[in-house]
Amino acid sequence: MPDPVQQLIAAGAIPVTPFGPSSRYANVPIARYQTSPSDPGVAYVLRRFVPQLRDIPVATYHTVHEGDRVDVLAAHYLGDVELLWRVADAHPAGDMLLVTAAPGARIVIPLPPGMAGA
């Protein structure tokens, strides 16, 4: 007997991923760890590789002001607060909080998703 949940997934009625289109994990595959064939297993997200800085297309630059936050910059420049990870990915800081930690610094704002070159 076919699994009704798998049939709904195959029909597109249930999303294959729990992540929305703005999520940094939207296109990252989900795997399942099983200890035996009868074990239902545990789902986990495979590794997301951060693009190389040279491969991130630049839309503009922003001079950091006191009190700037990555989420506010993403909302302003990219139109979606959930795209803050794209701004963070465009910086070698490694820590999202360090992107706007130095007032006066010039930071990269990447192209929004769906734009030519993005």
Which of 21-25, 37-41, 83-87 is predicted most confidently? 83-87
pLDDT on residue 61 = 96
What's the pLDDT band for 1 if we cut at 50, 70, 90? low
Q: Please give the CATH topology (third level) of the domain spanning 53-110.
A: Membrane-bound Lytic Murein Transglycosylase D; Chain A (3.10.350)
Distances in Å between the Cα of 106 and the Cα atoms of 49, 69, 90, 94 are 25, 14, 12, 16
Q: Which of 78, 84, 91, 72 is nearest to 118 (CA)?
A: 78
Domain boundaries, the chain: 4-45, 53-110
DSSP character for 99?
T
pTM confidence score: 0.71
Please report which helix (H) or strand (E) contains residue 78, including its range: helix 70-78
Q: What is the pLDDT of residues 42-95, one digit of tens each?
A: 888 888 888 888 888 999 999 999 999 999 999 999 999 999 999 999 998 778
Mean pLDDT of the residues in the chain: 85
